[in-house]
């Protein structure tokens, strides 16, 4: 039995009301998590590629990307929020074996999120060259930062469709296809960046002189390379969703009839997620403003270190995506007791995985930051802050996976409230206090403390709200 068949078999058992043993639950979590983790890591490797290639140019170029990176996360997060309103419902419908309704939600969802992303892209494009000024960037990096952000803004509809189609495939139980396509996107990013960032040059390959064409566009080339890889991958993702997905592909003569309640439920789920993203990313923007006065070296080290750390916490997001799928389908199947067990097990599993990745980050911090920059000062500062952050990884995992559990249950208010408390009540005030005294190390110490607080809050609410709710619903059933 291949991996896909095993996954389908376990999910079908759950949808049909069968009880899964703890080993079967763990097996399903691992099987669904691995492709999702691969997809998340591939996404971060794309950022690694951009950062490492730009890092070969100058610290100022790295600082230009770092200045607007938190703003690009905000836009990407809003696109993800729009998709979540539909993907959670698709998971519920799939779990209840209501596949025609799930396909209706696919059609409705793609139309709705595309319209949303077009509006968002237009607004972001109009603001692209004002943003670096508002963020307090130095005059010599504002133009380059604006160019990078403009290209990202114009690519948002493809980022949105890519995110939505991947989420819909995942919530139907197909984690493998999105994972493989994310890997392909990473490879495409390497090729496009290599051609667009650097100028034409001749290289010596084992005594053979090879001339490679290059556009020499620098930061603009990095933005275009990433955008082109998103465009190609979005097209492929939609093809596999609409033509190849066993459960969700379009059927001839199947009517497109949706209820207004579908849109209301989508908004009810998506709006708190969007608020959470705004809270989190606006805090990241405020965080960037706190770092900006520390100078270009600190800005670049901060940006590169965030990219390096991402390799460690992306497994958490992969497990969180698997948790959303499993919890959504289990609730759709009215398997409430099993849902409670899955909620706890996925959170513990995520914390253990990221505790291991945090240990690796502490040991290999110099190598991780060294890939991204050739500047000795950036490397030294990046190594220092990565080792501070390593201690927070298990707690960060608990918050990431628990958030995925809440989303699978359609409860998106809790993550928003907890993010507001932890980011604006702990991280930003503490970072503002420590930055003038201890520089970037103080800022990252504030981040480490906040992530520990956030993990504890999410774990507590998982038990008090989610697990108790599932227990009551199981008793009522």
> Domain limits of the chain?
3-476
pLDDT tens for residues 374-385?
788 989 999 999
Q: Is the pLDDT of residue 197 over 80?
A: yes
Backbone angles phi, psi at 254, to 5 degrees: -85, 125
Beta bridge partners of 210: 203
* Structural tokens at position 123: 């607004």
pLDDT band of 279, cuts 50, 70, 90: confident
* Structural tokens at position 40: 């998340």
Decide: helix, strand or coil at residue 369.
Answer: helix
Are 38 and 317 contacting, i.e. CB atoms less than 8 angstroms apart?
A: no
d(Cα 264, Cα 387) in Å, to the nearest integer? 45
pLDDT band of 56, cuts 50, 70, 90: low
DSSP 198: S
Q: Is the pLDDT of residue 58 over 70?
A: no
Q: Which of 404, 304, 389 is nearest to 354 (CA)?
A: 389
pLDDT band of 444, cuts 50, 70, 90: very high
d(Cα 5, Cα 463) in Å, to the nearest integer? 33
Average model confidence (pLDDT) across the chain: 86
pLDDT tens for residues 328-374?
888 888 888 888 888 999 999 999 999 999 999 999 999 988 877 77
Range 401-421 average pLDDT: 87
Decide: helix, strand or coil at residue 202.
Answer: strand
Name the pTM for this structure: 0.79
> What is the predicted pLDDT for the residue at 37?
78
Residues 319-331 as b or e (16 or more Cβ within 10 Å = b): bbbbbbbbbbbbb
Q: How many H helices and E strands in the chain?
A: 17, 2
Range 147-161 average pLDDT: 94
pLDDT tens for residues 310-332?
878 888 888 988 888 889 888 88
> What is the predicted pLDDT for the residue at 2?
53
Q: Which residue has the higher pLDDT, 219 or 385?
A: 385
């Amino acid at each position: 039995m291949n991996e896909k068949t095993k996954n389908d078999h376990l999910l079908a058992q759950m949808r049909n009301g069968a009880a899964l043993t703890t080993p079967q639950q763990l097996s399903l979590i691992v099987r669904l998590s691995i492709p999702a983790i691969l997809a998340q890591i591939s996404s971060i490797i794309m950022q690694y590629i951009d950062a490492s290639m730009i890092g070969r140019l100058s610290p100022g170029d790295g600082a230009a990307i770092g200045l607007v990176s938190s703003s690009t996360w905000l836009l990407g997060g809003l696109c993800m929020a729009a998709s979540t309103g539909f993907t959670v419902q698709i998971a519920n419908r799939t779990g209840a074996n209501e596949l025609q309704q799930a396909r209706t939600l696919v059609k409705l969802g793609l139309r709705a999120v595309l319209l949303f992303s077009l509006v968002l892209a237009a607004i972001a494009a109009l603001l692209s060259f004002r943003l670096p000024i508002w963020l307090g960037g130095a005059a010599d990096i504002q133009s380059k930062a604006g160019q990078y952000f403009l290209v990202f803004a114009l690519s948002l509809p493809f980022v949105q469709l890519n995110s939505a189609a991947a989420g819909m495939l995942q919530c139907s139980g197909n984690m493998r296809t999105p994972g493989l396509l994310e890997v392909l996107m990473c490879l495409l990013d390497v090729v496009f960046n290599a051609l667009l960032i650097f100028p034409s040059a001749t290289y010596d390959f084992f005594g053979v002189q090879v001339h490679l064409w290059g556009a020499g566009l620098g930061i603009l080339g990095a933005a275009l390379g990433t955008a082109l890889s998103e465009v190609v991958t979005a097209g492929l993702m939609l093809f596999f969703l609409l033509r190849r997905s066993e459960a969700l592909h379009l059927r001839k003569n199947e009517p497109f009839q949706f209820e207004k309640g579908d849109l209301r439920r989508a908004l009810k789920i998506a709006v708190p997620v969007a608020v959470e993203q705004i809270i989190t990313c606006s805090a990241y923007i405020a965080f960037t403003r706190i770092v900006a006065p520390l100078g270009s070296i600190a800005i670049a080290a901060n940006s590169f270190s965030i990219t390096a750390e991402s390799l460690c916490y992306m497994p958490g997001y992969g497990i969180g995506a698997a948790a959303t799928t499993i919890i959504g389908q289990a609730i759709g199947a009215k398997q409430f007791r099993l849902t409670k067990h899955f909620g706890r097990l996925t959170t513990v599993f995520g914390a253990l995985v990221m505790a291991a990745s945090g240990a690796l980050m502490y040991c290999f911090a110099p190598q991780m930051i060294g890939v991204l920059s050739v500047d000795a000062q950036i490397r030294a500062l990046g190594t220092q802050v990565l080792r501070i952050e390593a201690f927070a990884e298990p707690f960060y995992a608990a918050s990431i996976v628990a958030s995925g559990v809440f989303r699978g249950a359609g409860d998106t208010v809790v993550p928003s409230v907890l993010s507001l408390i932890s980011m604006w009540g702990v991280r930003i005030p503490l970072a503002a206090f420590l930055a003038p005294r201890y520089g970037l190390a103080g800022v990252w110490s504030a981040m480490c403390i906040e992530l520990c607080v956030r993990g504890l809050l999410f774990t507590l609410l998982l038990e008090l709200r989610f697990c108790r709710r599932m227990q009551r619903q199981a008793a009522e059933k």
